[in-house]
Amino acid sequence: MPSSKVYFIILNFNGYADTIECLESLRRLKNQNFQVILVDNASGNDEGARLAAEFPEYIHILNEKNSGFTGGNNVGAARALTEADCGYVFFLNNDTTVEPDLLDQLLAVVDNPENQSYGFFQPKMINYFQRELIDSAGLDYSRNSLGFNRGENRPVQEYNDNQEILGCCGGAFLCRRQAVEDLWHQAGEFFAEDFFAYCEDLDASLRLQWSGWRALFMANAIVYHKGGQTVQKLTARKVFWPNRNSLWVVVRNWPVKAIIVNFPWLLLGQLGTVVNAFLRRGRLGWWAVKGKWEAFRKLPAMWRCRSSIQQDKQNWYYIKQMMILKWRP
C-alpha cells in the first residue's frame, strides 16, 4: 500500500500569473509528499498548455469548457480519487501562496489519533496584500441564512488557537479522502455543480457535517489569499450567484421544522441580500432579483437532494449548535 499523499486541486481560469506564483510556492514546501492536479477551465491564450509545459511534474487537465468553480474542482477531485496513494485532497485557489511548512503543520494534527473525527481542516488564510489581517479562519453560518468568512479583516493575532468550526472556506482547505468519498457517494459530486460559484463551500461544509465529519481551524498552517481574482470582472454574476445559491443552501440542508421555526430570520436574510445589492450596486441589484427567481425556479430539483443529505437527523443538532445570528461581516 503506497504512503498517503496530499493531492492539491488547483483551478485556473485566465489567471496565469497568479497560478504561476501559487505553484512556485508549492515547490518550496518542506514536505514534498504531495501531487498537484491543475485543472484549466478553458482559459484563453493556451494558458493550460503553457502551465503544463512549465510544471511537467504535475497532473494537468484541460477542460473544454468553463465548468465553474464547482465543476472544475470536481474534475480534479475525481481524478485524485483514482490514485491509490491519495490520502487527502486539498482544495486551493490559484490566487494563493503558502508557507513552506504548511503541510507539516497540517499533517501533525490531522494524523493525530485523537483528531480522527475531524474530516476537513481550515488553514489560517491571511490577506495577501495586508498581512496583518485575516482573510478567512473558516466559515460562520447565521440563522438568517447568511454565510461569513470567520474573522475576515480582523487582526491576525486574534486567531492563534486551533478551534472547532462549522465549515471551511473554499479558497483553501484539506479533506480526508474518506470525507470526499462520502460526499461523492451522497450526491455523485463533492461541490454542487449547479451552484457554479459562491456558497458551494458552505453547502459542502454542511453536507460534510451531515455526514458526521467535523471541521477544525488550524492556526499555524498559513495560506495567503489575494481574493476574488478570477471573478473580479464578473460584477453582475457576483450579485446573481450568491443570491441564488444562499437560498439553495437552506433548501438542501435545513430540516423542515428548522425552516418553519427560523422563517422570519430566513425571510429577512434573503430579502436583505436583495436590498443590500440595490443599495451598494444600484441597477445591478436586479441581478439579485434574478438570482432569487432562478433559485425558486429550480427549487424542486434542490428539494430532491434533501433525502440523500439529511440522513442522520442527530447531526442537525450539532450544526444548529454551531450556528450564530449575524447580519454584517
Last residue of a domain, one of 225, 252, 285: 225
Residues 22 and 104 in one domain: yes
Q: Quick one: which of 83, 34, 95, 90 has its CA closest to 221?
A: 90
Q: How far apart (Å, rounded) are the C-alpha atoms in residues 238 and 318?
A: 31
What percent of the chain is predicted at pLDDT more than 90? 95
Residues 118 and 240 in one domain: no
Total of domains in the chain: 2
Last residue of a domain, one of 225, 252, 272: 225
In a domain, 321, yes or no: no
Residues 126 and 202 in one domain: yes
Residues 180 and 278 in one domain: no
DSSP string, 222-234: EEEE--STTTTT-
Residues 133 and 241 in one domain: no
Residue 1: its pLDDT value, please?
Answer: 43
* Mean pLDDT of all residues belonging to the chain: 95
List the alpha helices (DSSP H) in the chain.
16-27, 47-54, 68-80, 102-110, 177-187, 200-210, 235-253, 256-261, 263-281, 285-297, 299-303, 306-309, 314-322
In a domain, 15, yes or no: yes
- Summarised one tens digit per residue, pLDDT across range 96-114 is 999 999 999 999 999 999 9
In a domain, 10, yes or no: yes
Residue 7: its pLDDT value, please?
Answer: 98
Q: How far apart (Å, rounded) are the C-alpha atoms in residues 295 and 300?
A: 10
In a domain, 48, yes or no: yes
Q: Quick one: which of 176, 230, 200, 175 has its CA closest to 22?
A: 230
Residues 245 and 204 in one domain: no
Residues 31 and 175 in one domain: yes
In a domain, 210, yes or no: yes
Q: How far apart (Å, rounded) are the C-alpha atoms in residues 76 and 60?
A: 9
Rg of the chain on CA atoms, in Å: 19
Low-confidence ranges of the chain (pLDDT < 50): 1
- Summarised one tens digit per residue, pLDDT across range 228-285 is 665 555 589 999 999 999 999 999 999 999 999 999 999 999 999 999 999 998 999 9
Q: Spell out a b/e string for 247-281, using b for 16 or more CB atoms within 10 Å of the CB, else e.
A: bbbbbbbbeeebeeebeebbeebbeebbebbeeeb
Residues 218 and 273 in one domain: no
Other beta carbons less than 10 A from residue 227's beta carbon: 17
**Cell matching residue 241:** 450567484
Residues 217 and 245 in one domain: no
> Would you say the C-alpha torsion 108, 111, 117, 121 has a positive or negative sign?
positive
pTM comes to: 0.96
In a domain, 70, yes or no: yes
Residues 20 and 128 in one domain: yes
440523500: which residue's cell? 308
Q: Which domain holds residue 254?
A: 235-310
Residue 3: its pLDDT value, please?
Answer: 74
In a domain, 315, yes or no: no
Last residue of a domain, one of 171, 200, 225: 225
Q: Quick one: which of 69, 102, 108, 81 has its CA closest to 180?
A: 81
Residues 191 and 279 in one domain: no
Residue 230: its pLDDT value, please?
Answer: 59
Q: Which amino acid, one-letter code, is at 40?
A: D
Residues 182 and 298 in one domain: no
Q: Quick one: which of 111, 133, 134 has its CA closest to 124?
A: 134
What CATH number corresponds to the domain at position 192?
Answer: 3.90.550.60
* Residue 116, burial from CB neighbour count under 10 angstroms (0-12, 13-18, 19+): exposed
Q: Supply φ then ψ for residue 87, to 5 degrees.
A: -105, -25
In a domain, 267, yes or no: yes
